[in-house]
Amino acid sequence: QDLRRGRNIIPKLPHEVSAVLLVDGEVVTLCRRFNEKWTKKRGSAVEEFVGHEEERLYNNVPCSVKEWNEKIAAICPEQVFKFITNPLYFTSQSVDTQRSMLFRMAGGITDEEIAAGNADFAALLASLTGKTMEEYKKEIAAKKRRLKTEIEAIPERIDERRRDVPEAEDWAALEEELRQKQEALAKVEEQINDASKAYAAANEERLATVRKISDLKNERLALELKIKDEVQAL
């Protein structure tokens, strides 16, 4: 909205933003207008502000929200449009979203390509048996939760046995079961740590490769533009 000095909104003034795009050789004008609604109630000499309404115009033709979204999506996906028009949009995204955008720009690298130079990661891939890395991490996390739940329940089970069964109960067996569960949990946690380290190292290598590819593409584009300018100048 347009503001006066002191950042006060100027009343009864339509506020709008527009863009002119060249889409497949056709000039397309986009406009969104924010209007204030004022009405004079019966018996009152003064108009009152009752809210806002928004207009969307595609080539100066009013559109519904659904029609507008469909037309914009036909030109360019909304996320891509924000990415190429707002320099702050990329840095405002999460690390995972930024990584996804970089892979879409420069192309992805398979886990097998990374494992070719990383013995630890290759061993991890071999143990996945048809699972993705994310599925494997979920599997390990689920095992850890299950073992923790079982361990937390063992003291209560011991107390129940002591209350409800004869004194000849084999407490040593229950204590041994507790020890075995704790050892199993320790092994699972070790697996998680090893998998996380290997995945982090592989991911850093992948991102470095993606950035290098992106830099090379940018250098090629700059060189093509330079050659084009030199040809046009002849």
The pLDDT tens digits for 128-147 are: 767 777 787 888 889 999 99
Label the pairing between strands 26-39 and 15-23: antiparallel
Instruction: For the chain, give every domain's residue range.
Output: 15-75, 111-233
Token reading at 107? 């192309």
Highest mean pLDDT pick, 19-23, 83-87, 120-124: 19-23
- 189 token code pair: 């946690």
Which one of 13-17, 29-33, 97-101, 188-192 scores highest in mean pLDDT? 29-33
The DSSP symbol for 117 reads T
Q: Residue 195 — pLDDT band, cuts 50, 70, 90? A: confident
pLDDT 10s digits, 75-107: 888 778 788 778 888 889 898 888 888 877 777
**120 has pLDDT over 80:** no
DSSP state of 98: H
pTM: 0.39
Measured between alpha carbons, how far is 106 from 201 in angstroms, rounded to an integer? Answer: 20
Q: Residue 2: what residue type?
A: D
Residues 114 and 205 sit within 8 Å (Cβ to Cβ)? yes
Is 209 a residue whose pLDDT tops 60? Answer: yes
Mean pLDDT in residue range 195-200: 74
**What is the C-alpha separation between 203 and 197, in angstroms, rounded?**
10
Distance CA 83, CA 77 (A): 10
- Start-to-end CA distance of the chain, whole Å, equals 48
Best mean pLDDT range from 16-30, 84-98, 117-131: 16-30
Report the greatest alpha carbon distance in the chain. Answer: 103
95-106 and 171-233 are packed helices; what angle lies between their axes, rounded to 10 degrees?
A: 50
pLDDT score recorded for residue 199: 73
Question: Which residues, 6 or more positions from 63, have their beta carbon under 8 angstroms from its beta carbon?
Answer: 56, 57, 71
